[in-house]
Amino acid sequence: MSMKLDNKEDIQQLAMDFLAVAQEAALSSYPWVGKGKKNEADGAGTEAMRTRMGSIAMDGTVVIGEGELDEAPMLYIGERVGTGRGPLVDIAVDPVEGTTLMSKGMDNALTVIAVAEKGHLLHAPDMYMRKIAVGPKAKGKIDIEAPLTENICSVARCLGKDISEVTVMIQDRNRHQSLIQEVFEAGAKVKLFSDGDVTGAIATGIEDIDVDLLVGTGGAPEGVIAAVALRSLGGDFQAQLICQNEEEFNRCVGMGLSDPDRILRLDDMVRSDRCFFVATGITDGILLNGVRKKADGSMLTHSFITIGGRGNNFQFVETRH
């Protein structure tokens, strides 16, 4: 019989187990850095992740993964993972967040995993989502329905900064040109990135990284993963799914989202503090260092862990393998 996840010791133990999962996935993907083969890199990371998860004492269900059963041989949505004995949890994974970055040898590719007690993660379909993310000091002070300039001013007040000192991270896409222009007109700073918005969302919650606000449209699954990280960090995240056709709208309804167009608050995406987020760098980035091979043949990984219910609490872990 599975036990209910009911104390922080269970969460802490699982977080350490999943740290090893993220490390294995990053190490397995690393040989494909700069090789121009996205699918091979993702496949290697996925297989390593699935294998390591199988040994964890939990009854886990993949709610965000590599796709539907007919699209993915493993880590498909609905797949049961773990030994089947232990805490009941929902799991969201991306074995290689930034496959294009990794295949081109670019920065900010990483392995990411988000875990929460069962029934407490939004089951987001693979579609677009509007997002806005901030760190703990601006929690409760953002509004995705308000103009970006208003949000910039609000964040500046919360951080005790002049607007000219506020940094807004935005993905470098044509669809974001109006947002970029609005940041310029407000007098704030833009920090553009090419792929993978989970890193940017997390960066808002870490004072040592010069990112105060993340805005833009990106993948919904990545949005849920970022929401778990920000809930654990004590930050804030709001979103809205973008249904581009009737098929996507009906898919949302079929997944339990009766009103797909409504604004999603942090509590809508991850409904419990019994959650955690783990990431391991594959290539160097603003959050983590990439995998490194040492002269003696050993490998070095750099990881990040943040656990819900502990305020703005996180740790970086460097491990030699």
Q: Do 258 and 153 fall within a single domain?
A: yes
Q: 115 and 190 share a domain?
A: no
Judgement on whether residues 136 and 103 belong to the same structural domain of the protein: no
The total number of structural domains in the chain stands at 2
Statement: residue 253 has pLDDT above 60: yes
Share of the chain above pLDDT 70, in %: 95
Read off the pTM: 0.93
pLDDT category of residue 3 using cuts at 50, 70 and 90? very low
Examine the domain organization and report whether 280 and 160 are in the same domain.
no
pLDDT of residue 5: 42
Report the CATH number that the domain containing residue 132 is assigned in CATH: 3.40.190.90
Q: In whole angstroms, give the CA distance from residue 24 to residue 45.
A: 8
Q: Which domain holds residue 198?
A: 128-269
Per DSSP, the residues of 264-319 read: BPHHHHB--S-EEEEEEESS--SS----EE-TTS-EEEEEEEEETTSSS-EEEEEE
In a domain, 85, yes or no: yes
Q: What confidence score (pLDDT) does residue 298 get?
A: 95
- Together in a domain, 296 and 210: no
Annotated binding site: 42, 66, 94, 97-99, 128, 173-175, 195-197, 219, 222
Give the C-alpha separation, 198 to 231, whole Å. 13
**Residues annotated in a binding site for Mn(2+):** 42, 66, 94, 97, 222
Mean pLDDT for all residues in the chain:
91
> Does some domain include residue 2?
no
**Cross-strand pairs, 61:** 80, 90
- Which residues belong to the annotated binding site for substrate? 97-99, 128, 173-175, 195-197, 219
Asked if 43 and 308 touch (Cβ cutoff 8 Å), the reply is: no
The mean pLDDT of 266-274, rounded to a whole number, is: 93
**Position 186 in a domain:** yes
pLDDT at 61 over 50: yes
**Same-domain check for residues 135 and 251:** yes
Q: Do the domain assignments include residue 3? A: no
Rounded mean pLDDT of 197-210? 94
Residue 16's domain is classified under what CATH number? 3.30.540.10
The whole-number pLDDT of residue 22 equals 98
The residue that leads in pLDDT, 317 or 246, is: 317
In a domain, 298, yes or no: yes
Co-location of 235 and 295 in the same domain: no
Residue 297 located in a structural domain: yes
Are 90 and 121 in contact, with CB atoms under 8 Å apart?
A: yes
Q: Answer with the residue of higher pLDDT: 276 or 127.
A: 276
- Residue 1: the pLDDT is 37
Same domain flag for 80 and 112: yes
Looking at the structure, do residues 256 and 299 belong to the same domain, yes or no? Answer: no
In a domain, 256, yes or no: yes
Distance of CA 105 to the CA centre of its chain: 21
